[in-house]
């Protein structure tokens, strides 16, 4: 009976608990239902917001495509169709993707943008090229630590860490970091080195890890006489000394080391840019660092003559650059200091497939080949190795531009062009075909450059004034006047004064009618505050003339010409010069 009573009490207790739990469960279900309703309403609002975003994105992208189509329509007619078809294809792809996203079906049809695919492919190619360059350096037994080079295979970013930067800088200078010597050989090995970093005035207390050491000239004898180092340490220092001497020589092994290191620097610098495009400045990478590396690789053998293998090495580096605009930026910034590197710039431009302004490049190349006019005209033997580096169609254009160049007399230019055509096996009739006319802006720039050259070479002011009059008679507009003022204002003040004084007088003694409006524009600009520096230079020259010889014809003529076009300007100049109000007849 006791057991039955306990069981009944237990059953009764369980029913009470169940009733209480049921009440709590019902309350919890009601709370969950209310929360579910709130979540459904929130999802519906998010759905409406997403649809509005997709609709806005479709409209804005369509407007962007229309704007780009309008800009593309201004390109040459042969390029318009390609760009428009790409824009339409891209717009269709974006619309389909957004529609699928709105319907919840975007996962199956999402396509990665071709630009990102090309970027990833370029990164993988750069990593593989960096591994190959590191393995080549390891095989060449450079003074660099093998551990440092091997770490770059898996972690290319370590190339820009301070220890690796110090190690590579020391490699280029034939030095070694002090920390490496202490780590490998101990402080007892410092006796055969000299400190290249500590300077009593410029850098009296450098940090120990920044000190660079160089072997003493008598280091080999010191090591042979030393008994404090172990034989293994002594042999290691001698091996390091031989490696550094070999890397600083002009032997084929040393040249191969420098080329491999330059190639590795270019690859890692480019890879670093692609990994950090949001923070790395484009102009610093492609206009400063990479052009210098291209020059170093091309002229690694310290020769000033361009060869086909050297140019191919430079093109192999440029082929690693993803964007054609960036490749063009690198090429355009090669040879800023002039010399053979400037020649390399034009060779690379003329060999490149993308050449929108080929006529301008061709004329600049000819001007580079003939820098001093007819005085030191190049001969065919000097130009032939350079032209052989170009494709045959570009050879024709260069020879044709050389024939029409104004840097050489017509007879010499024609004879040189025909001789080059014969040596290059070019058809003479194709070479003698007239080159296309220059664009107006470029033709104007070339004409005023010739006049500026006359000013720089201190030609007769009457000759310069005649050239300016002839040019203004042939092309008279605001742009020509502005360009003529730029040329005149860049000359020295005495040349400016003499040319302006001679400008009104034609060779027959009469006054040229175009001189008055031209001089009026010059005087107006001269008196404007924008050209205060030009006015001050001219005024200083006039004051010096007045101080040395107050009745100088140069001073009288210039003031007369200024008074002829602007009496108020002449009065101001006279006052600033310090003259009294003496009359000057025009």
- So what's the pLDDT on residue 118? 84
Give the closest residue to 269 by CA, choosing from 289, 252, 253, 287. 289
Residue ending a domain, among 431, 453, 487, is 431
241 and 318 belong to one structural domain? no
Give the structural domain span for 216. 122-197+208-264
- So what's the pLDDT on residue 137? 92
Q: Taking 50 as the threshold, does the pLDDT of residue 585 lie above it?
A: no
pTM given for the model: 0.63
Pairs from 443-452 (Cβ < 8 Å, separation ≥ 24): 444/475, 444/479, 444/480, 444/483, 445/483, 446/363, 446/406, 447/471, 448/483, 448/484, 448/486, 448/487, 450/406, 451/484, 451/487, 452/487, 452/490, 452/491
Indicate the helix (H) or strand (E) that contains 177.
strand 176-177
Range in 140-149, 300-309, 423-432, 445-454 the model is least confident about: 423-432
3-state secondary structure 290-348: HHHHHHHHHCCCCCCCCCHHHHHHHHHHHCCCCCHHHHHHHHHCCCCCCCHHHHHHHHH
- So what's the pLDDT on residue 2? 43
295 and 419 belong to one structural domain? yes
Burial class (CB in 10 A: 0-12, 13-18, 19+), 382: exposed
Instruction: Taking residues 116-120, report their average pLDDT.
Output: 83
Q: Taking 80 as the threshold, does the pLDDT of residue 317 lie above it?
A: yes
Task: Give percent of the chain above pLDDT 70.
Answer: 88
pLDDT tens readout for residues 50-79: 788 877 777 777 777 777 777 777 766 656
What is the residue-wise DSSP string for 369-383?
A: HSTTTTTTPPPHHHH
357 and 406 belong to one structural domain? yes
* 3-class state of residue 20 by DSSP: helix
pLDDT tens readout for residues 424-455: 888 765 555 544 556 677 777 777 888 888 88
Q: Taking 50 as the threshold, does the pLDDT of residue 108 lie above it?
A: no
456 and 543 belong to one structural domain? yes
- Does residue 160 form part of some domain? yes
Indicate the helix (H) or strand (E) that contains 429.
helix 428-431
Taking CA atoms, 277 is separated from 159, 266, 561, in Å, by 17, 16, 59
Range in 40-44, 90-94, 316-320 the model is least confident about: 90-94
- So what's the pLDDT on residue 269? 94
Q: Are 343 and 335 in contact (CB under 8 A)?
A: yes
Pairs from 12-21 (Cβ < 8 Å, separation ≥ 24): none
186 and 247 belong to one structural domain? yes
- Does residue 18 form part of some domain? no
470 and 410 belong to one structural domain? no
- So what's the pLDDT on residue 119? 86
3-state secondary structure 68-132: HHHHHCCCCHHHHHHHHHHHHHHHHHHHHHHHHHHCCCHHHHCCCCHHHHHHHHHHHHHHHHHHH
389 and 279 belong to one structural domain? yes
Q: Taking 90 as the threshold, does the pLDDT of residue 412 lie above it?
A: no
pLDDT tens readout for residues 345-399: 999 999 887 666 777 788 888 888 887 544 567 888 888 888 899 988 888 888 8
Distance of alpha carbon 117 from alpha carbon 259, whole angstroms: 30
- Does residue 17 form part of some domain? no
- Does residue 116 form part of some domain? no
- Does residue 586 form part of some domain? no
137 and 222 belong to one structural domain? yes
Overall number of domains in the chain: 4
- So what's the pLDDT on residue 331? 92
Indicate the helix (H) or strand (E) that contains 456.
helix 440-456
568 and 537 belong to one structural domain? yes
Give the closest residue to 561 by CA, choosing from 503, 508, 507, 513. 503
Q: Taking 90 as the threshold, does the pLDDT of residue 125 lie above it?
A: yes
């Amino acid at each position: 009976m006791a057991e039955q009573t306990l069981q009944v009490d237990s059953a009764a207790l369980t029913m009470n608990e169940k009733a209480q739990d049921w009440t709590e469960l019902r309350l919890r279900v009601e709370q969950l239902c209310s929360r579910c309703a709130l979540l459904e309403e929130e999802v519906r609002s998010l759905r409406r917001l997403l649809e509005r975003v997709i609709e806005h994105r479709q409209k804005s992208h369509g407007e962007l495509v229309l704007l780009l189509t309008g800009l593309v329509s201004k390109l040459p007619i042969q390029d318009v169709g390609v760009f428009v078809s790409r824009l339409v294809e891209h717009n269709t792809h974006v619309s389909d993707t957004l529609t699928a996203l709105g319907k919840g079906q975007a996962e199956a049809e999402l396509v990665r943008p071709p630009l990102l695919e090309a970027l990833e492919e370029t990164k993988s190619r750069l990593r593989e090229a960096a591994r190959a360059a590191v393995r080549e350096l390891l095989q060449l037994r450079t003074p660099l630590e093998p551990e440092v080079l091997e770490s770059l295979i898996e972690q290319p970013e370590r190339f820009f860490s301070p220890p690796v930067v110090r190690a590579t800088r020391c490699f280029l200078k034939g030095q070694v970091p002090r920390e490496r010597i202490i780590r490998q050989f101990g402080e007892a090995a410092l006796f055969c080195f000299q400190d290249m970093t500590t300077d009593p005035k410029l850098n009296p207390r450098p940090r120990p890890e920044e000190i660079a050491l160089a072997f003493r000239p008598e280091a080999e004898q010191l090591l042979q006489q030393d008994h404090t180092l172990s034989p293994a340490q002594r042999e290691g220092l001698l091996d390091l000394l031989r490696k550094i001497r070999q890397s600083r020589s002009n032997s084929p092994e040393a040249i191969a080391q420098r080329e491999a290191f330059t190639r590795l620097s270019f690859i890692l610098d480019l890879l670093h840019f692609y990994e950090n495009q949001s923070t790395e400045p484009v102009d610093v990478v492609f206009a400063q660092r990479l052009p210098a590396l291209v020059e170093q690789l091309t002229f690694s053998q310290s020769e000033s003559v361009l060869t086909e293998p050297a140019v191919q090495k430079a093109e192999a580096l440029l082929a690693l650059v993803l964007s054609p605009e960036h490749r063009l930026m690198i090429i355009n910034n090669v040879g800023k200091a002039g010399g053979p590197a400037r020649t390399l710039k034009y060779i690379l431009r003329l060999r490149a497939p993308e050449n929108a302004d080929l006529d301008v490049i061709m004329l600049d190349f000819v001007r580079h080949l003939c820098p001093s006019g007819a005085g030191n005209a190049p001969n065919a033997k000097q130009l032939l190795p350079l032209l052989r580096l170009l494709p045959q169609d570009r050879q024709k254009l260069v020879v044709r531009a050389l024939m029409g160049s104004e840097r050489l007399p017509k007879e010499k230019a024609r004879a040189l062009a025909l001789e080059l055509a014969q040596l290059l096996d070019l058809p003479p009739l194709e070479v003698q075909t007239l080159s296309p006319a220059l664009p107006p802006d470029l033709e104007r720039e070339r004409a005023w450059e010739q006049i500026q050259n006359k000013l720089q070479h201190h030609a007769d002011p009457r000759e310069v004034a005649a050239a300016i009059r002839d040019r203004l008679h042939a092309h008279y507009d605001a742009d020509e006047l502005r360009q003529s003022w730029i040329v005149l204002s860049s000359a020295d003040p005495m040349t400016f004064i003499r040319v302006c004084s001679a400008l009104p007088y034609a060779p027959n003694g009469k006054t040229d009618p175009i001189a008055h409006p031209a001089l009026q524009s010059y005087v107006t600009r001269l008196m404007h505050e924008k050209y205060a520096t030009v006015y001050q230079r001219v005024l200083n020259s006039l004051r010096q003339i007045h101080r040395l010889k107050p009745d100088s014809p140069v001073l009288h003529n210039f003031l007369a010409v200024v008074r002829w076009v602007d009496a108020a300007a002449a009065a101001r100049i006279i006052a600033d010069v310090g003259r009294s109000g003496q009359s000057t007849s025009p």
